[in-house]
Structure 1
């Protein structure tokens, strides 16, 4: 399942990670002759006799207020006497220029006696590979994680290294200085901090993108409501698909992104976002009572959504083999195989891809302009040091640097300055012609290492119009710092998740004979598998958390 629920592109780098089709291979850097190491070397020399603390104090007070350059003296507590390769695992597709970029990263790390090697797990493989990688014999030091990427399950197994205050202070000085203080709660489970979250929490409105040229072909000008969108989808299925083979939505695996668009109309938040086991509540302006939180699929809104999905599936809006399609709906839209997609501001990237074909016009629409917009959780994209790391201190140093050293951060997010992007005097970046060789949507680490330093110059007006409007409607999920520890009900969680994995994709794609009967059957099986025991544990922990907010 490609879980993109809380993914953001709003201010900038919104999309970055992905990998090789097939668990991908390790990529160690070559050592091209390069001046990339100069910033670190110069910083070290400039530091002279200054203590690490004094040198840190001399850096900008906050991210975005100037260039942040790491120095070996910052890591006096880390033993750098021996060469060490930090192995990092990410999710996604390898950009064409990845080896070139990684070579520069490793040139920069030379003064630290450190190299970075990266293994990519593809979108099609990461679900089966992720846990195996952490449990197997591979040497893993750093790994991308998130609530939608097994963070809670692996934390319960003890797969991640605990980041204590002392550890962060001693081995991650830039993180200590620049990481948003409020972000740590989101990756702290039962008092143990198990990952470093993103440093950005941006508006996360959900929108749809469509082929505007096809809209006009069939006499439609704009979409204002969900019903307008349904009419467009059904029209494409009836009139366009038989003619060109283009599906209204080239769905793949499930329809959770479209579900997010739909549920935004009901002003809902998630108190637990974990694979398909989502605990949801309707936001009424305050922290919800525990009784108001329940499995998302027990709400009438999901039942109504599933019925709409069946209507569209029966009309031929997507393939009957959508459950097993391996091409994502986004890529299909960009390749002109689909006439719409649903997501956040990331849709604009795929709109631009589609518009490279002459005659194709795209437009994005917010169907819920009178409803709240959630903010992306800091914890939606995280980097963790593994419990099995042979050198967690060195892994911490590399993570510290790729998050906050300006040169390394921009290198891994945007690529090579002057080749893939340029930066103006306001610190705003512009993608260059070769940006497609290192797409800003290509590296999962880039989501996790966002630090708020980058904004894109010349954002198209059609994108600004939507994202600027979100700012007026943003509400922070009041339960965002509540983290459910499923240790005591792990077997029940696994059993319920297995049921949901079987049923939810079918319901989200409308590929069932009777929606209500199938939904009720799923819920019954969830209770048979232990859902009530999960509720009991969830509510007990929620009460304890709620007491700290009184």
Structure 2
């Protein structure tokens, strides 16, 4: 059996901590030593049990927070900021301004703004997997954050984040990021399906594996012949193959190298890279399964030309029986809407990896906050961040808006939109994805919180932390090969994922693997492994 084959589930790796990165890096600007800071109010507790330090906040300053996204012109965000800034002024004599990086060409504009180093931004929303946090740290765009500085100017955050999480925020031995590590956000993928129709198909306990999913689709075809079991839009050629692998092997894919996430380790050997896409029988079995689904009529016959399809919209009107997305989509969006648009549908979630207990929690630096190395007021920026993350009043304003305008609370303690609310005139846009805090989150009315909490408890029993958060591969010598591998994988997975290939499953997989080999797959794997060894061994 190849190394990606089924193995007995082990929980021993759940506590593995990612080692600190020790790659080369130049000296960077560091924060003011708190021992040299002035001694006037307010009082900030360090979180270390030290005597409280008094910090000079006599000068009123503006802290500019940079985030990705497009602002609204309805004035709602400005009204919220007016209230928030009164609190910030009272507590730390600072005000907050939001600087938006629009979604068009967002990454290049984001990096260009940081590279200018002109002091125009202070707090920077960032991420290691989609916003170039590590390259920007390496290039000197972010400030080194000493533990003394964090303990003094962001004491509540410093005390809340455990040592192992601070380690994951280090580059070249220094902390550069404040992680969003106290926020539950499950973006692992799976199928959202109707519990009532599953019961009709004999699945009274729901769907818990791919075989159950087949039974569900068969039941839909029999009991609801006018319904498309899954009106897919032919864009699931990443999540479906990876989902199959995590359900049938102990594969742990890396992010950010190839779009298809075909490189990775295994739960019992995380830092030895390989690929079940390149070896083993699992891809052949997947190809056979998808051919079966295609012949069953799980999707439309022209699925590869059906890119405009929206399965969730079809579910709302009873014309599709499932959609493929992630846990939080089921909770906050599809499940909620199905409860209102299809009463009694009892929408549930089958998560990829359930059979093997193979699920990886979201990287804690998928959202993180940094301080610009060019900030003129880095200490005050940290003080503002500490309030946004931990002060209940500030937190609700930056995340939800003004109570009575953007939201109101029900007698049961849930949040809902006030009567007459509309996104056009009332929605705020802060895109504060860098310091959310479960301790202060408000729960939306009408969501299936009991089912969600039970699912999260199930995840917690088997999850491992994302192990490659500090792996920043140098692509200089392999980028051309990686680009070719990406193109090959994309083209073949369209055929395989939807069963639209000619010949046998064995033949299409052999053809795919030969193309990968000719494109330099083994050379890329060897180079990535050498870099992985240098970091983790």
Q: TM-score, normalised by structure 2?
A: 0.68
Q: Which residue matches 1:163? A: 144
Q: Which residue matches 2:393? A: 407
CA distance in 2 between counterparts of 1:397 and 1:55 reads 9
Question: Partner of 1:149: helix, strand, or coil?
Answer: coil
User: 1:388 and 1:60, CA in 2 relative to 1: closer, same or farther beyond 3 A?
Assistant: closer
Deviation at 1:361, TM superposition (A): 1.1
1:339 to 303, 307, 321: 321
Deviation at 1:198, TM superposition (A): 1.1
Q: Does 1:304 align with 2:285?
A: yes
CA distance in 2 between counterparts of 1:301 and 1:421 reads 50
CA distance in 2 between counterparts of 1:391 and 1:537 reads 42
User: 1:391 and 1:283, CA in 2 relative to 1: closer, same or farther beyond 3 A?
Assistant: same
User: 1:193 and 1:521, CA in 2 relative to 1: closer, same or farther beyond 3 A?
Assistant: farther
Alignment of 1:365-404 (within 5 A): 365-366=349-350, 368=354, 371-385=357-371, 396-404=382-390
Counterpart contact for 1:503–1:522, Cα < 8 Å: no
Q: Does 1:262 align with 2:244?
A: yes
Alignment of 1:75-86 (within 5 A): 76=56, 81-83=60-62, 85-86=64-65
Aligned Cα root-mean-square deviation (Å):
4.8
Q: Which residue matches 1:471? A: 460
Q: Does 1:228 align with 2:212?
A: yes
Q: Which residue matches 1:449? A: 435
CA distance in 2 between counterparts of 1:506 and 1:289 reads 29
Alignment of 1:197-216 (within 5 A): 197-200=179-182, 207-215=190-198
Q: Which residue matches 2:337? A: 353
Q: Which residue matches 1:461? A: 450
CA distance in 2 between counterparts of 1:295 and 1:163 reads 36
1:538 to 520, 528, 533: 528
Question: Partner of 2:341: helix, strand, or coil?
Answer: coil
User: 1:445 and 1:318, CA in 2 relative to 1: closer, same or farther beyond 3 A?
Assistant: farther
Deviation per residue, 1:52-99 (Å, 9 max, x gap): 6x5325x899xxxxxxxxx9x9764x8954545433224999999656
User: 1:517 and 1:396, CA in 2 relative to 1: closer, same or farther beyond 3 A?
Assistant: farther
User: 1:472 and 1:355, CA in 2 relative to 1: closer, same or farther beyond 3 A?
Assistant: same
Counterpart contact for 1:277–1:497, Cα < 8 Å: no
Q: Which residue matches 2:415? A: 431
Alignment of 1:183-332 (within 5 A): 183-191=165-173, 193-200=175-182, 207-215=190-198, 221=204, 222-236=206-220, 240=224, 243=226, 246=228, 248-251=230-233, 253-259=235-241, 261-266=243-248, 268-270=250-252, 272-274=254-256, 275-284=259-268, 287-288=269-270, 290=272, 293-295=273-275, 297-299=277-279, 300-313=281-294, 315-318=296-299, 320=302, 325=307
User: 1:417 and 1:377, CA in 2 relative to 1: closer, same or farther beyond 3 A?
Assistant: same
Which stretch shows the higher mean deviation, 163-172 or 375-384?
Answer: 163-172
Larger radius of gyration: 2
CA distance in 2 between counterparts of 1:524 and 1:346 reads 37
Question: Partner of 1:210: helix, strand, or coil?
Answer: strand
Q: Does 1:506 align with 2:494?
A: yes
Deviation at 1:543, TM superposition (A): 2.5
Question: Partner of 1:116: helix, strand, or coil?
Answer: strand
Counterpart contact for 1:266–1:301, Cα < 8 Å: yes
Q: Does 1:175 align with 2:165?
A: no
Deviation at 1:511, TM superposition (A): 6.4
Q: Which residue matches 1:22? A: none
Counterpart contact for 1:84–1:113, Cα < 8 Å: yes
Q: Does 1:420 align with 2:404?
A: no
Question: Partner of 2:340: helix, strand, or coil?
Answer: coil
Deviation at 1:121, TM superposition (A): 4.9
Q: Which residue matches 1:115? A: 96
Listed as ranges, the gaps of 5+ residues in structure 2 are 1-38
User: 1:87 and 1:466, CA in 2 relative to 1: closer, same or farther beyond 3 A?
Assistant: closer
Q: Which residue matches 1:130? A: 107
User: 1:276 and 1:197, CA in 2 relative to 1: closer, same or farther beyond 3 A?
Assistant: farther
Listed as ranges, the gaps of 5+ residues in structure 1 are 1-48, 62-70
Counterpart contact for 1:143–1:384, Cα < 8 Å: yes
User: 1:323 and 1:154, CA in 2 relative to 1: closer, same or farther beyond 3 A?
Assistant: farther
Deviation per residue, 1:149-191 (Å, 9 max, x gap): 2436854883851433276467644433333321233343454
Deviation at 1:229, TM superposition (A): 0.6
